[in-house]
Structure 1
Amino acid sequence: MNDILIKKTTAFFKDAFGTEPTKIVLSPGRINIIGEHIDYNDGYVLPAAIDKIICFAFEKNNSNTSKIIAIDLDDSFEVDVTTTMELTDNVWTNYVRGVIHQLKIKGFVFEGFNCVFSSNIPVGSGLSSSAALECGFLFGVNALFDLQIKPVDMALMGQSAEHWVGINCGIMDQFSSVMGLENKVIKIDCQTLEFEYHDANFNDYALILFDSNVKHSLFSSAYNTRREECEEGLSILKTEFPDIQSFRDCTEDHILNLQHKMSENVFRRSLFVVKEIRRVSLACDALDNGNIEALGQLMFDTHEGLSVDYEVSCAELDFIVATLKQQSAVVGSRLMGGGFGGCTINLIKKGQEDALKTKLTALYHNAFGIELKIYDVTIGNGTSLYTPN
């Protein structure tokens, strides 16, 4: 599939500019195996880059003006890279402008260039197409002008670009897009940005995303409320236990002992966070031991916590997970991402995927009248230069 995308992007570039691109960049989306709503709670996450990508084609154009074409949107814009970047009403261009802004404020010297890109990352499905756009675009400019930006700094600049656009994201999406390795998950410490790789030997299992095809409007307000509730819970913990600096310093007993001092919601949010931080470490142990069944159970436990204690699930996602949990071929399933819609991430024994897809699609449509979207994914490399064979 990616070969077709690469050929399409490079052919479009040649038609648009009359020359072959000098740099081709592949930038992936990401999944998160476990560690949800933990990036802003100083915990750990366990993401991986996937084989769904944005393909970029670049060349210098020996001017101060860059022309960027989004093939899939049938849209383009030009920008003078010597001027100050400003937000516009054309949202996708702001991510690109945000990257240029980061390069300029950090003092990097570059000129105008031509860029074309196209993607097979499903937009709006929680696979971080925006991070792939930022990081792939930055990677290409870095390679084109030999700016020698380190990979971790590219991730941080991509995050800053998204903040400039107005989305206060954590570091996980950009970090996994840049730093991913084939058949590896990355345990990222969201407090220090230290990271380590763990083998993801899913040889006998398929990673499948079931997209609920819904996005409930509660997401933005509820996300902010969850952050506030967690901050309140941590404040109470710090008052009672001065040695505690973050949720990672807590045990479940700390939370249980202070239940009487917390509102019901603050208690449940705090309890989920402490449990989820521990689940990430247990998931790494399970992967290191090749115990995929144990990993799957942790995924089920995470979904239960997200649904009951953190309350960011919805009827559609709960239906998908509950239905899959009854199937012996499914070893793990949970909602992935912020919640209130989007995808579930699922580990399914190979050889039984097709029957399960057919069954779940019918049951889901009967229950909600909504078409289920399905994405097969594998764990791939992070953002990289493509060299034609």
Structure 2
Amino acid sequence: MNNILIKKTTAFFEENFGSEPKKIVLSPGRINIIGEHVDYNDGYVLPAAIDKIICFAFEKNYTNTSKIIAIDLDDSFEVDLTTDMELTDNVWTNYIRGVINQLKIKGFEFDGFNCVFSSNIPVGSGLSSSAALECGFLFGINELFELKIKPVDIALMGQSAEHWVGINCGIMDQFSSVMGQENKVIKIDCRTLEYEYHEANFSDYSLVLFDSNVKHSLMTSAYNERRQQCEEGIAIIKSNFPEIASFRDCNEQHVLKLQDVMSANVFKRCLFVVKEIKRVRLACDALDKGDFETLGKLMFETHQGLSVDYEVSCAELDMIVDTLKKEDAVVGSRLMGGGFGGCTINLIKKGHEERIKQQLSALYLETFGIELKIYDVKIGNGTSLYIAK
């Protein structure tokens, strides 16, 4: 599938610019195995790069202007690199401008270039196509002009570019897109950015994403509200337990002892966060032992917490997970991402995938009148140069 995308992107470049590209870059989307809504609570996350990618083709053009073509959008724009970058109404171009802005702010010197890109990452499904766009574009410029930017700094600059666009994201998406390794997940410490790899060779299992195909409008307001509730909760915990600096220093008993001095919602949010941080640690232990049954159990527990305590699920996502929980062949399932729609991530024993896909799709259509989207994913490498064999 990616070979087809690479050929298409390369051919399009040659057709438009009359020469072969000098650099081809592959930049992946990402999944998160476990560790939801803890990135802004000093927790750990457990993401991985996947085999859905954006393919970029680059060459220098020896001017002060760059031309960038988005094949899938049938759109393009030119940018004068000598001018200050400004946001525009054409949203996709802002991510590109944001990267150029980061390079200029940090004093990197580079000239004009031509770039085309195309993607097989489903947009709007919570697989971080924006992070893949920022980091792949930056990686390509870095390679083309030999800027010697370190991979971790590419991730951080990608995050800053997204902040410039107006989306206050954490570091997980860019970090996993750049730093991913095949058949490995990355445990990222969201407080220090320390990271470690854990084997995730799902040889007897398939990772399948079921996209609910719904987006409930509560997302932004609810996200901000959850952050405020967590800030209120940790302030109460710190005032009662001075030795505690953040949620990762807490256990469930700390939260339970303070139930009477917290509002019901603040208590539930805090309890979820403390349990979820613990689940990430347990998930790493399970992966190290090749214990996928325990990993799956933790995924189900995360969904229950997100639905009941953090209250960011919805009827469609709950229906998917509840249905799959009755299936012996599904060892784990949970909503992935911010919630209120988007995907569930599901760990299914090989040999049962097609039956489960067909049965769930039919039941979902019957229940909600909505087509379920389905994506098979494998854990792949982070952003890299493509070298033709």
TM-superposition CA deviations, 1:139-194 (whole Å, max 9, x none): 00000000000000000000000000000000000000000000000000000000
Q: Which amino acid in 1 is paired with 2:42?
A: D
Q: Are residue 270 (structure 1) and residue 270 (structure 2) matched?
A: yes
Matches within 5 A, 1:342-381: 342-381=342-381
What amino acid sits opposite 1:383 in the alignment? T
Question: 1:95, CA displacement in angstroms?
Answer: 0.2
Shift of 1:74: 0.2
Distance 1:40 1:107 in 2: 30
Structure-to-structure mapping, 1:325-336, within 5 angstroms: 325-336=325-336
Distance in 2 separating the partners of 1:197 and 1:319: 33
Give 1:319 deviation, angstroms: 0.1
Correspondences of 1:28-39 after superposition (within 5 Å):
28-39=28-39
Separation (CA, whole Å) in 2 of partners of 1:39 and 1:64: 39
Match of 1:281 in 2: 281
* Post-superposition offset of 1:350: 0.2
Q: Report the equivalent of 2:387.
A: 387
Q: Percent identity?
A: 80
What secondary structure, in the 3-state scheme, does the structure 1 residue paired with 2:130 have?
helix
Q: How far apart, in 2, do the equivalents of 1:2 and 1:354 lie?
A: 22
Q: Which amino acid aligns with 1:193?
A: L
**In the alignment, which residue of structure 1 is the partner of 2:213?**
213
Aligned residue for 1:162? 162
Which position in structure 2 is the counterpart of 1:191?
Answer: 191
- Provide the C-alpha distance between the structure 2 equivalents of 1:201 and 1:143, rounded to a whole number of angstroms: 30
**Distance in 1 (alpha carbons) for counterparts of 2:240 and 2:355:** 53
Amino acid at match of 1:243: E
Aligned AA for 2:378? T
Question: 1 CA distance for matches of 2:130 and 2:366?
Answer: 33
Structure 2 partner of 1:54: 54
Quote how far apart the aligned CAs of 1:82 are. Answer: 1.4
Please tell me the residue identity of whatever aligns with 1:341. G
Distance of 1:361 and 1:6 partners within structure 2: 31
d(CA) in 2 for partners of 1:33 and 1:335?
10
- The amino acid across from 2:104 in the alignment is K
What is the rounded CA distance, in whole Å, between the counterparts of 2:328 and 2:259 in structure 1?
37
String of CA shifts for 1:107-143, please: whole Å, max 9, x gaps: 0000000000000000000000000000000000000
In structure 2, C-alpha distance between the alignment counterparts of 1:156 and 1:303, rounded to whole Å? 29
Larger displacement relative to structure 2 (237-246 or 288-297): 237-246
Unaligned runs of 5+ in 1: none
- Deviation >6 Å, runs of 4+: none
The answer to whether structure 1 residue 67 and structure 2 residue 64 are counterparts is: no
CA distance in 1, matches of 2:206, 2:360: 16
**Per-residue Cα deviation, 1:236-256 (whole angstroms, up to 9, x for no partner):** 011111111110000000000
Q: Secondary structure at the match of 2:235?
A: helix
Shift of 1:79: 0.2
Structure 2 distance, partners of 1:357, 1:260, is 45
What's the counterpart of residue 244 of structure 1?
Answer: 244
Specify the SS of the correspondent of 2:379: coil
Distance in 2 (alpha carbons) for counterparts of 1:241 and 1:97: 46
Match in the other structure for 1:176? 176
TM-score by length of 2: 1.00
2:90 aligns to what?
90
Task: Indicate the residue corresponding to 2:233 in structure 1.
Answer: 233
Q: CA deviation at 1:364?
A: 0.3
Distance 1:246 1:119 in 2: 39
What is the rounded CA distance, in whole Å, between the counterparts of 2:150 and 2:238 in structure 1? 36
Q: CA deviation at 1:216?
A: 0.1
Deviations 1:336-378 (A, max 9, x none): 0000000000000000000000000000000000000000000
Corresponding residue of 1:131: 131
TM-score, structure 1 as length reference: 1.00
SS in 1 for 2:301: helix
Residue 317 of structure 1 corresponds to which residue in structure 2? 317
Deviation at 1:212, TM superposition (A): 0.1
Letter of the structure 1 residue corresponding to residue 379 of structure 2: I
Aligned residues: 389
In 1, distance between residues paired with 2:10 and 2:229? 48
* 1:4 and 2:37 correspond: no
Name the residue aligned to 2:202.
202
In 2: Cα distance, 1:88 partner to 1:265 partner? 39
Q: How far apart, CA to CA, are the structure 1 residues paired with 2:236 and 2:64?
A: 54
| AA at the equivalent of 1:271 | L
Q: How far off its partner does 1:12 sit? A: 0.2
For 2:39 and 2:83, locate their aligned partners in 1 and report how far apart those are by CA, in whole Å: 34
Q: Which amino acid aligns with 2:82?
A: T
Provide the rounded CA distance (Å) in 2 between the counterparts of 1:109 and 1:137.
16
**CA deviation after TM superposition for structure 1 residue 201, in Å:** 1.8
Identify the residue that residue 120 of structure 1 maps to in structure 2. Answer: 120
Q: Give me the whole-angstrom Cα distance separating, in 2, the residues matched to 1:275 and 1:383.
A: 32
Q: Deviations over 1:73-120 (max 9, x none)?
A: 000000011110000000000000000000000000000000000000
